[in-house]
Structure 1
């Protein structure tokens, strides 16, 4: 096995050919790495090895990947050093079970996703030594198969191992991503970072999903803004009750960040528009869960989670 302190990954698998997976696949391939992109929908994969993945907006490129496949069970044939999981969090139990079927020591799995505690679902099946968590700072949407619009990209991205023994491997993965243009830093503060982003997702995603508004429209509507504002304050209260350090100026910074998000449809709104299940249970549902643990009432999060669940029930 490669020494974790000098881990230099060469071959990557990316599970999920949505916008997040397409972006990391394209950058890794541009950096000269062998990349296999995996998704159960063949139509999403077909352009990736022929025309190439198209990225437009804050970043612009067209890049082919080495391989595609439609089954996680096929991934061992490519002998990946690292697997990035970029699917919606609601698919994680099935994904973790599938990887568990062939996982071996020295293969690292990175949760490159939105949501709180996604890495724990993977670790429950694969063990903490194998699993890492990342926080990704780009906004994106799928314009078509292997065609991504990326309205904003605010590097660096961050990654941390769950087990300290895998810190060297995490640094190696961060370096590989940085070298290919996705500037990524190793951190020892990933949980706080996940929650900081989680609050933003919990305030924007469900509000836009329920109203059909873009982020800019929601923030500039005085009535809708009151809901967003109440959600931010409720989420911050839950975080503090669970000793998650968001930072003393988190509230004003969060409001400013969302005001500058632009006329962008968040992923949850796009999921509802396209008849897909959302990640609501790993976003607002987690604030409800952690609120109950610490005795904090979460009426706004419960309401938004319930409304999105109601929309999902029609799908």
Structure 2
């Protein structure tokens, strides 16, 4: 299968690397520093079970996606529309675009920009870029994907590549469940610059997380979202299964980059306002992260 990864950061490099390692024709489209390193020596895929270099194509241009049967769409939620517009002229008519992004509405936003089939995916992986062309896998790695014309074939390819994958008719609910995990952990991890395992041990954190989760659940219920599983158990499990992981928001702030907070706690605040559900804890976290972002932005000017 020919696969393009649009936005080859930690998530894109992990899943793209796993597919390339299994023999698929993969091109990673990302930042120049990573592309240069991957072209020179391959992608370093540093996982919990192996650490090796995988030969894979890499490019900084969206045109590299030409002819791909599968596009793993992994850009930041803030870049969704722009990246989809960049891809649009180069997409094969029968391509499947699989959105592996944080937030709950990215697939819908991509569909507004392209005519190809778009499916949402829920991503459960702890990974980060440890250096140029070096993805460090810290835990988990499963995917839940939406039905589409190619989802069965894609799921088989991912499973054969060592990625646990299931197809679900309730991806909306699973996306909301993942959103709640992100809302509970991301901003706090970012503001404290602590990994999940240490974060939950600090005074007052459990109570703040409880308030955040309760608000998210209330908004989801008002929005008629049916979430699978036990949200409280899932929240506790993250600190156990991803103890050493810093949130993507923490990584963004540490690098002075704009985060996805508008599409996490900020989304809950906006949706809550539209549905008449109060979200004060989410509002505070969203505001604090935005303040840190603005401070970094001001320092860079």
TM-score (norm 1): 0.88
Q: Which residue of 2 aligns with 1:107?
A: 95
Q: Structure 1: any 5+ residue segments left out of the alignment?
A: 1-9, 162-166
- Deviation per CA, 1:148-202: give whole Å up to 9, x if none: 22211153x11114xxxxx341111111111111121111111111111110001
Preserved CA contact (<8 Å) 1:58 1:152: yes
- After TM superposition, give the deviation of residue 52 of structure 1 in Å: 2.2
Query: Relative to structure 1, is the Cα distance of residues 26 and 269 closer, same or farther in structure 2, using a 3 angstrom cutoff?
Result: same
Q: Over aligned residues, Cα RMSD in angstroms?
A: 1.7
Q: 1:159 aligns with which of 145, 165, 174?
A: 145
- After TM superposition, give the deviation of residue 248 of structure 1 in Å: 6.9
Q: Which residue of 2 aligns with 1:145?
A: 132
Preserved CA contact (<8 Å) 2:2 2:25: yes
Preserved CA contact (<8 Å) 2:184 2:235: no
- Deviation per CA, 1:185-234: give whole Å up to 9, x if none: 11111111111111000110001111222212221112222211211111
Q: Distance in 2 between matches of 1:174 and 1:46?
A: 30
Aligned positions of 1:59-138 closer than 5 A: 59-76=49-66, 79-127=67-115, 130-138=117-125
Q: Which residue of 1 aligns with 2:168?
A: 187
Preserved CA contact (<8 Å) 2:141 2:163: no
Preserved CA contact (<8 Å) 1:214 1:263: yes
Q: Which residue of 2 aligns with 1:300?
A: 281
Q: Structure 2: any 5+ residue segments left out of the alignment?
A: none
Q: Distance in 1 between matches of 2:256 and 2:150?
A: 38
Q: 1:199 aligns with which of 180, 184, 188?
A: 180
- After TM superposition, give the deviation of residue 51 of structure 1 in Å: 2.2
- Does residue 12 of structure 1 match 2:3? yes
Q: How many residues align?
A: 295
Preserved CA contact (<8 Å) 1:122 1:131: yes
Preserved CA contact (<8 Å) 2:138 2:244: no
Aligned positions of 1:270-281 closer than 5 A: 270-281=251-262
TM-score (norm 2): 0.92
Q: Distance in 2 between matches of 1:60 and 1:284?
A: 35
Preserved CA contact (<8 Å) 1:49 1:64: no
